[in-house]
Structure 1
């Protein structure tokens, strides 16, 4: 399998991406001021999707992009991709933009594309474009609609959205731009719930769970599929392979449609995302009608949902609530329990964002929490910066669960130090994320959690690997102000209260110096890991194994 990779001026590329994003977002001004975001947002995303996918078809690019985190695209040959014929392309619509009834023609084009690509654009009775209407009377009378849509097609056909760069770079810029447009539309939405998983958190989750080739990755409340895409990118970045599969479910139809478009723009064709209520009717079942099991499960569920199908839990046919039924007014543990039951017994690991109340509230939540801890499933509790979710004014933590733990300890990490807020949110810096990863990997290596997977490695080679990584005399060096490894007895003595302040004293911390130290340790570990990977690759080649 040949991999093509682009190399160029990163600064110049970043500038092009920023300009491209600005142009995309400015397209909203084409619509009259009285048009609601819910209306123009859908139309913007669909036109952008149609334009980007038409560009691939027009360039005869039977290639699927997998993107790394440095804004350089890598492309693998792929037999399947979204098919858009010339007569149904963006450019065919643009050519007829001055003819009356352009809204109806766009609708007919979208319907034809759905029929030709049902595998990707339909799920049961639902389809991606079924709630999209470019002939919507909210855009004005027939003449006004024609004018708005003509301007919209002209805008997306401008030269600044057709950069004179390589195909790989164009695909990267398109997919990054589409993601940017989704995020901007979400953050401009006036609600009190978390809308999108911040990029820093998506990156952190993918790093901590370390998805590997062959993994099946699942998000039961996938939203726009940001977490799924990031996990896929992490595999391609590290292993240069597309050998993985993404799965998801999303309750909201419009968001499910956005997820499908986002996945396809990012080149993720080996995926299955269904629409529906994952508590009432989980849509991913095996041949025996039971819940499918996955290697990696990730989610950013609704915080403290009071509309999580509480009445269904007592008679759940999948027995997800055997540990207890979460309170009707707070459904956080409903999603956690579903995720736990969706893990494979050997390789299963998961990450889930939760409001801090999940860590310490009493009642049925305490009972569920105690059982999860006693079953030795909880691996780590990571406190995230305050207000990191733009529209959710709650403190948030990241919980890591694993099915393959060999000790009964729990790692606590606190990133919530005094910081300067940027507008409504507080970001997790790249350096801080590196620090969290360093602590977690040191902890995992010290307790022999990291496992060499799938490769047919002989026993003596495996032993050498363990000698080099896992049996380190230093074991683990944690920053006392920011991390702590708690024993099961300690957690029991705290009555299963996971409030981070019970385990980490953050009163007189010196965050900058400590995180700098962790960052340096991370760099040193990367060098060691690179040497190890070279040795593993050599052994695999000797064995005749081809990745």
Structure 2
């Protein structure tokens, strides 16, 4: 084990920051946020959010207490598929300013899980509370997981989420970018134990929702292979390259990333071009904006393989139900996206199989509208219909002018002291209406 990195020490003081009260999350699991918070506090015997991580870790380290709390949790929250701890953490613990923590909505988890398919060993990079892992496990309960997480506040939530569902996993508490590891936990049969190591074998699949455009030290890493070093101002491609280094030859990786990775220049453009030339980008799926609780940006799911025969681009920005605070993708929207993904053919205004010639023409820019535009041209009405509308509007305006003129004349008649200037104005307005 290595000591906590300098970056972790600097960021550690922010791990327990409470989110501003002006921000309100609407959980997807059918319960109010206040109800979730009260039940979780009751379960772990705390009164304030900042007390919870330590209380959870105390429970995790005591197998007897853990068994009791897990049993009580399942009585309180019978829908074990939903990640209530994610809802709680996002509201009360997430540190967006320093750790760029945006926790994955269920709809995106479902898309990633369906893309991942039936895999045996799955690595979840930047796991948070484990939402991506939970969804993948719900479809493949025999899978094993290696979950990497930096945040000391999130690790207890992650360990408990895995234990309460008896998921077989390792939790690596450490910095994936620097490979500094603070602790490893083995979760098996509902128990959590400290471990000395974790599997370093190649994995069947990688799933990740890394912190968007996180600043990092920007140094070369052997895991990057022959690819350029991502810029210090944005570690997005660092997470991608590390994930690709973990994959077996026939493995698959799904990464939830900001749209900037699709078109930004310099070293990121070099990395993107090489990935495309190496046929490692299998699909780019643009999702609707404002799906996340803490940000209204839109993201893309990039699917990588060690070799892909083609590149599919899907523009799903309109596949959502609009809500005032947070849009949602419902089952029919997810089905539309996944149907297009599986068919891998051109679908008007939704999907396009991109040729290498198109990539070259666009200088390896993957900005989605270059390949799939869902712009709807306005259908112009017949000229006679337009003219009739103009005439009707003109008549309406004329009638309003006459009514206004009559009102002014009445005002003039009722007020004998009306000034000369107003009288002249009424005469001019009457002249105007007669034109």
TM-score (norm 2): 0.67
Whole-Å separation in 1 of the counterparts to 2:305 and 2:377: 30
Whole-Å separation in 1 of the counterparts to 2:160 and 2:320: 36
Task: State the secondary structure of the residue aligned to 1:344.
Answer: strand
Partner of residue 417, structure 2: none
Shift of 1:194: 4.1
Q: Map Cα deviations across residues 364-404 of structure 1 (whole Å, 9 max, x no partner).
A: 00000000000000000000110212213422111001124
**Residue 260 of structure 2, aligned match among 354, 357, 382:** 357
**Residue 211 of structure 1, aligned match among 118, 121, 126:** 118
Shift of 1:23: 4.2
The answer to whether 1:246 aligns with 2:114 is no
CA contact (8 A) 2:212 2:258 kept: yes
The answer to whether 1:42 aligns with 2:46 is no
Change (3 A) 1:338 1:360: same
Partner of residue 380, structure 1: 283
Whole-Å separation in 2 of the counterparts to 1:89 and 1:208: 33
Where structure 2 has 5 or more consecutive residues not aligned to the other structure, the ranges are 1-28, 185-197, 379-435
The answer to whether 1:180 aligns with 2:81 is no
The answer to whether 1:309 aligns with 2:217 is yes
Q: Within 5 Å, which residues of 2 pair with 1:4-403? A: 18=30, 23-27=35-39, 37=49, 39-42=50-53, 84-85=63-64, 170=75, 173=78, 175-176=80-81, 179-188=83-92, 189=94, 191=96, 193-212=100-119, 215-236=120-141, 242=142, 244-268=143-167, 270-281=168-179, 292-306=201-215, 308-310=216-218, 313-314=219-220, 316=221, 318-320=222-224, 322-345=226-249, 347-403=250-306
CA contact (8 A) 1:194 1:392 kept: no
Partner of residue 440, structure 1: 341
CA contact (8 A) 1:28 1:40 kept: no
Task: State the secondary structure of the residue aligned to 1:394.
Answer: coil
Q: Map Cα deviations across residues 188-211 of structure 1 (whole Å, 9 max, x no partner).
A: 557453431111111110101212
Of 247-256 and 415-424, more deviation after overlay is shown by 415-424
Task: State the secondary structure of the residue aligned to 1:173.
Answer: coil
Whole-Å separation in 2 of the counterparts to 1:245 and 1:293: 13
Partner of residue 318, structure 2: 417
- Give the alignment's Cα RMSD to 1 decimal: 3.5
Q: Map Cα deviations across residues 144-184 of structure 1 (whole Å, 9 max, x no partner).
A: xxxxxxxxxxxx99xxx79xxxxxx859717357x213313
Change (3 A) 1:21 1:402: same
Task: State the secondary structure of the residue aligned to 1:434.
Answer: helix
Change (3 A) 1:325 1:291: farther
Q: Map Cα deviations across residues 256-294 of structure 1 (whole Å, 9 max, x no partner).
A: 2211111001111x211111111111669xxxx995311
Whole-Å separation in 2 of the counterparts to 1:325 and 1:252: 24
Whole-Å separation in 1 of the counterparts to 2:48 and 2:313: 43
Q: Number of aligned pairs?
A: 330
Task: State the secondary structure of the residue aligned to 2:78.
Answer: helix
Whole-Å separation in 2 of the counterparts to 1:404 and 1:220: 21
Shift of 1:42: 3.1
Whole-Å separation in 1 of the counterparts to 2:31 and 2:87: 16
Shift of 1:222: 1.3
Whole-Å separation in 2 of the counterparts to 1:498 and 1:414: 12
Partner of residue 426, structure 1: 327
Change (3 A) 1:20 1:305: closer
Partner of residue 190, structure 2: none
CA contact (8 A) 1:194 1:389 kept: no
Task: State the secondary structure of the residue aligned to 1:276.
Answer: strand
User: Comparing both structures, which one devotes a greater share of its residues to strand?
Assistant: 2
Change (3 A) 1:273 1:503: same
CA contact (8 A) 2:283 2:311 kept: yes
Whole-Å separation in 1 of the counterparts to 2:166 and 2:377: 44
Where structure 1 has 5 or more consecutive residues not aligned to the other structure, the ranges are 1-16, 51-81, 92-155, 163-168, 237-241, 444-475, 511-547
Of 423-432 and 382-391, more deviation after overlay is shown by 423-432
CA contact (8 A) 2:95 2:101 kept: no
Change (3 A) 1:89 1:327: closer
